[in-house]
Copies of this chain bind each other. A is one copy, B any other.
Amino acid sequence: MNAVVFDMDGVMFDTERLAIKAWDWIGEQMGIGKVGYMVFKTMGRTTEESVKIFKNDFGDKFVNDDFQRYYSIFLEKYYKENGIPVKKGLYELLEYLENNGFKIAVASSNSRDVVLQHLRDTGVEKYFDKIICGDMVSKSKPEPDIYLTACKELAESPSDCYAIEDSKTGLQSAYAAGCKVIMVPDLYEAESEIEKLLFKRFDNLLIFKEYLEQLQK
């Protein structure tokens, strides 16, 4: 293997769990009650699809502009007070990959601004050879486009790249691109038909690093 492509939210940073807290708070601000449970319904969907689901459930009470504004307020305050929550083993894994000649990329559906900000704030930007975001491809996960672009930018065949993912659509996208799919679970636990797509499953990034070390021996 020559390269590792990371999904960001839920893989590098513990941001998915934070979304539940944020949505609970936002719902109360908007007068529709705690709506953290709505992550259930919108997980792995595009923003457009998610907005449709919210409108379907809450009608005119759901105003997307307000929702997004409150979301920014919540996250800005949270990050300022607590920093970006980094997943166990991220620093160790990145250091190991760099020292062992792996190319490293991120393939995130999040916006370029947010991705760059998170990488900078946590001091990991220097490790990444390529940063691929949703705005660089026309078809979002579960389509393979974002992983195909990442591999192309790294000048590697997908079959020589590990892709680390936590979400269903992400796992499907990486598999469809032909990458070796590594699942590190966050909020989603793969059902049996998705488990079939996995090359390996590790409880956290540190265990993936230990696996790579074993391979080298």
Contacts and interface: CB of A to CB of B under 8 A. Distances in A.
B189 A53 contact: yes
User: DSSP majority for the A interface?
Assistant: helix
Contact of A189 (B41, B187, B189): B41
Interface in A42-83: 42-44, 53, 56
In the complex, which range does the number of interface residues on chain A fall in?
A: 10 to 19
Given A17-B37, A37-B187, A187-B37, A203 B56 contact: yes
Contacts of A188: 40-41
A85 interface: no
A206 interface: no
Interface string A17-44: 1001000000000000000110111111
Interface centre among A20, A37, A39, A185 (most CB of B within 10 A): A37
A142 to B, nearest CB: 9
A134 to B, nearest CB: 19
A36 B39 CA distance: 12
A8 B61 CA distance: 28
17 contacts: A20-B36, A20-B37, A36-B36, A36-B37, A37-B187, A39-B40, A40-B40, A40-B187, A40-B188, A40-B189, A41-B185, A41-B187, A41-B188, A41-B189, A42-B189, A53-B189, A56-B203
